[in-house]
Each structure stands twice: as C-alpha cells, then as structure tokens.
Structure 1
Amino acid sequence: MQYRRLGKSGLQVSALSYGSWLTFGDQASTRTVETCLELAYNSGINFFDNAEAYANGQSEEVMGNAISKFGWARDTYVVSSKVFWGGEKPNQIGLSKKHVIEACEAALRRLRIDYLDLYYCHRPDPDTPIEETVRAMDGLIQQGKILYWGTSEWSAQEIMEAYSIARQYNLTPPTMEQPEYNLLKRHRFEVEYQRLFTQIGLGATTFSPLASGILTGKYNQETPENSRLAYTQFDWMQEKLERFKAQGGVQILQELSAIAEKLGGTLPQLSIAWLLKNPNVSSVILGASRTEQLEQNLRALDILDTLNEEIMDEIETAISPLQAIDA
C-alpha cells in the first residue's frame, strides 16, 4: 500500500481507502462488511469513510461495531463522517451550528470512538452562512472531537470563502474536499479545483472511481440482476448510463479494456490506477459489497507504475470523445 499526505497536512492516508456508501447496512450483510473491512485493513488501508446519511446512520453503527470487534489500535486507522442529511425535521438537515455539533456527537456514538479524524460538510448549505459552519467546525476541533474538517462537492468559490473566513478570524480552515472524480467526470477536479491545490494545499479524497459501476464494463449489455442499477432507487444512475451509451461509451470502454489487458490488468484497475497518477489525489475511496470486488480493485496498485506517459496518452485519446458529456 502507498500512503499520501492529506493535502498540506501532516496526516498520512492510504492511497486506496474503503467507503461505505450504498453498501454498509444496505446492499451488504454485516458479515460481508466485517470481512471486507478486515481485508482492507490487512491490505494496508488505513482510511475508512462514512456519513450520517448512509443507511440513515446504520452504516456508521455497522462500521463502529466491526472496528470495536476487531480491536484495532486507534492510532492505526483514520475514520470519517459527513454532516448534512440527518433527518427530515427542522435542524436535522444542513450545516447550522446546532446540526453540525449534534451530528458529530451522534456519529461518535454510532462509530463507538472518541473523536473523528475527518469530518466533512456533505454538501454546501445555501441557508446557513459559511462563517457559522466554519466556527462550528473550529469549535469541534478545539474540543478534540474532530481533527480535520473539510467539504464534499463544494464549489471552488465556496471552499475559498470558507478558507478566507477561517484565516480572517484565526479559525481552522478546511483541510480536504471529497469530490466525485473518475474518467467520466473530470472538469471540476482538474480545472475548477486546481488553484485550491496549488494555493492553499487542499487535500482530496475522491469517490466513485468507477462511475457507479459504469467503468467496470458490466453494464455494456443489459443490467445484471442484483446489481446496483437494477434497483429502482438508483434510476438516476440508469439515466447516466443511458446517456453514456448514447455517446458511444461502450466502444470507449472496449478500447480502455484493451489498454488494461496490455498492462496485465482489468478495466476497473486501470480506471483506479489512472486516478492515482494525479498528484492532487490524496486517496481514492473504493466501494465494494464483496471481498472479491475489493481484492480486484486493490490490485490497481500492481499496474500503477506501468502507466507511463505513452499509456496515459493512449487513455486520453480513448476518452477524449467523453469531454462533451463530462458534467
């Protein structure tokens, strides 16, 4: 396993991490979750990602119970939570000081830990002043309940505003952002965020490396039964897939698969390794509901060094038609 600094901070996170979105407490059984967590940890992964919204808090409970069961030393892993969607009643949603603090306390109880290493604002909140959220996060840091705070899917302008407010009032600025980043979604990370990486040393823990499974190639024909896109609650993913196919996406995946085979890898491994070639990526969050998936994805590290300039150019040429649908 490789380890990278989280932006300009001193914290080191594994280049590949393991997240619970759409799996813990939902698609995967508790036993499967425990097996995947143990495999990840034994493979060198030290960062485990979660959120209050995942399975309505059940995801954090499952992860917390598993970590407690394994008895991992607290200084050997990094765990995160995110705040925004905590419920449907007033003050259970958003980034008000009340919800930020109460959501943190609830996450600590569910995860069965004394502090969060990373705490993210899951989305920007247009109804709460950014200064209020920054002060709430700084207060939690001063209390030792979180170590670093950051954002997820915020615009560069919003992140810079939070950073500037923190510097103006001698508060703790955001350390990291968690955006979607993959071969099909690139503009925000590579263009909009670029000055944040160079000017303030922002870290990045990216999610959806396989574009909700599209980059596995398993949806090239029909949607398999029991796959994520087979469930009605993921209709938005199905719509994304259809748009992708309409732009010649299947042929592009076939070209990428050929490149991967030449390197001795698979399409998912190539997609993940490509992300790791970007020096601004602190960690790529993997999501797997089976140990076989996780084992295969971890092997992306085996082909990382084969992605030389020539191979990267081949990948760029293959995906160039997708630039028009990168949204």
Structure 2
Amino acid sequence: MEFRYLGNSGFKISEITFGNWLTHGSQVENDVATQCVRAALDAGISTFDTADVYANTAAETVLGEALKGERRQSVEIFTKVFGPTGPKGKNDLGLSRKHIMESIDGSLTRLQTDYVDLYQAHRYDFETPLEETMQAFADIVRQGKALYIGVSEWTAEQLRDGHALAKELGFQLISNQPQYSMLWRVIEAEVVPASEELGISQIVWSPMAQGV
C-alpha cells in the first residue's frame, strides 16, 4: 500500500480508502461488513470513510465495532455531517452550529473513539451562514474532537470562501470529496485547479461509477 499526504498538511492516508456508504448498516450483514474491514486492514488500507447519514447512523456504529481493538494511532477515521439523521427534526440536518456540535458527539460515540482524523461538511449549506459553519469546525478542532477539516461536493467558489474563513479562524481545509470517475469528470474544469491552488486534496467517491 502506498500513502499520500492529504492536502497541504503532514497527515498521511492510504491511497485506497475504505468507504461504507452503501454497505455497512444496510445492504451487508454486520458480520460480513466486519470481515470486509478486516480484509481491508490485511491489504494495508488504514483509512476508513463514513458519514452519520449512512443508513441513518448505523454505518458508523458498524465501522466502530469493526475497528474495535485496532491501535487508534494506526488508522485514520473520517466521517461527515450535513444530511438528516435521527427523527429528522428541524435541526437534525445542515451545517448550523447546533447540528454540527451535536453531530460530532454522536459520531464519536458510535465510532467508539475520542476523535476523528477528518471531519467533513457532507454538502454546502445554503441556509446557514458560512461563518457560523466554519466557526463551529474551528471549535471542534480546538476541542480535539477532529484533527482536520474537509468538505464534500463543494464548488470552486465555495472552496475558496471556506478556505479563506478557515485561515482566519486558525485552521485549514485539507480535502474535498467529490464524485469522480471516467464517466463523471466535471471537477476537472474548475474544482481541481482551485484545489491545487489552495492545497486541497480530492478524496473521490464512486471512482468506479458504483461498479459500472
């Protein structure tokens, strides 16, 4: 397994990342999901990506159980916040300070860890001021609940705005998680050049177009 720096940081991750969007907690039984995680570890994969919205939080729980007993410093755990979770009440989604601060605690409990290596804004929230979102992320980093901050499916302009605010608040955005494959290449025109300019890596999802 090869390892790469994530963004303009000293943080290294395995170049193949194990994601559990469509498997853990929904389409694959828990014992099989755990076997998949163990096989990934045996293959040298150390980086695991999930989200609170996957299977309405169940995917995080399955991943936490599967990684139990692993040396925490030897794995990199990513999760995300934005989508509706729980009973899907009025504050159970988005990137408000309330939802972010409550969601990180829920994710840490389900993942059975004191911190995540990367906490990501799963989408851009047009209904919450970006300043509020970035301040909440800054506080989570200072509290030690997340070591790094990333985003997912943000446009070039959104990346620039978020990067500038993060810098003002004393942290940096180091990653973006877009869809990208031979069949879906829209990030090449603007997102990739902006990311290179800002020191942001891509952690692409569906690189094989969901098996196509």
Within the alignment, does 1:202 sit opposite 2:200 as a pair?
A: yes
SS of the residue corresponding to residue 16 of structure 1 reads coil
Q: Is the 8 A contact 1:134 1:171 kept in 2?
A: no
Displaced runs of 4 or more, over 6 A: none
Structure label with greater radius of gyration: 1
For the residue of structure 1 that corresponds to 2:67, the secondary structure is: helix
Supply the AA of the counterpart residue of 2:179. E
Partner of 2:184 in structure 1?
A: 185
Aligned to 2:70: 72
Counterpart of 1:218? none
Q: CA deviation at 1:42?
A: 1.1
**Who is 1:63 aligned against?**
63
CA distance in 2, matches of 1:52, 1:194: 26
Taking the TM superposition and a 5 Å limit, the aligned residue runs for 1:1-327 are 1-68=1-68, 71-87=69-85, 88-167=88-167, 169-188=168-187, 190-214=188-212
In structure 2, distance between residues paired with 1:39 and 1:203: 26
Q: Where in structure 2 are there 5+ consecutive unaligned residues?
A: none
CA deviation vs aligned residue, 1:44-97 (integer Å, no higher than 9, x gap) = 1010010000000000001111111xx110111000111011332111110001
Find the residue that maps to 1:75 and give its secondary structure.
helix
What do the CA deviations read for 1:89-123 (whole angstroms, capped 9, x no partner)?
11111000110111000000000000010111001
| Cα contact 1:134–1:173 (8 A) shared by 2 | no
2:156–2:195: 8 Å Cα contact kept in structure 1? no
Amino acid at match of 1:186: R
Partner of 1:269: none
More RCO (CA 8 Å, sep 6+) = 1
1:217-266 deviation line (CA, Å, top 9, x unaligned)? xxxxxxxxxxxxxxxxxxxxxxxxxxxxxxxxxxxxxxxxxxxxxxxxxx
More helix by share: 1
Q: Distance in 1 between matches of 2:126 and 2:7?
A: 26
Deviations 1:147-196 (A, max 9, x none): 011110011111110111222x33312111001110001121x2212332
Contact 1:130-1:162 within 8 A present in 2 as well: yes
Q: RMSD of aligned C-alpha atoms?
A: 1.0
Separation in 2, partners of 1:18, 1:157:
29
Percent of counterpart pairs with the same letter? Answer: 38
Q: C-alpha distance in 1, partners of 2:192/2:29?
A: 39
Normalised TM-score (structure 1):
0.63
What is the CA–CA distance in structure 1 between the aligned matches of 2:201 and 2:192, rounded to whole Å?
Answer: 11
Structure 1: segments with no counterpart, 5+ residues? 215-327
Normalised TM-score (structure 2)? 0.96
Number of corresponding residues = 210
Q: Residue type of the partner of 2:150?
A: G
In 2, are the aligned partners of 1:80 and 1:116 still within 8 Å (CA)? yes
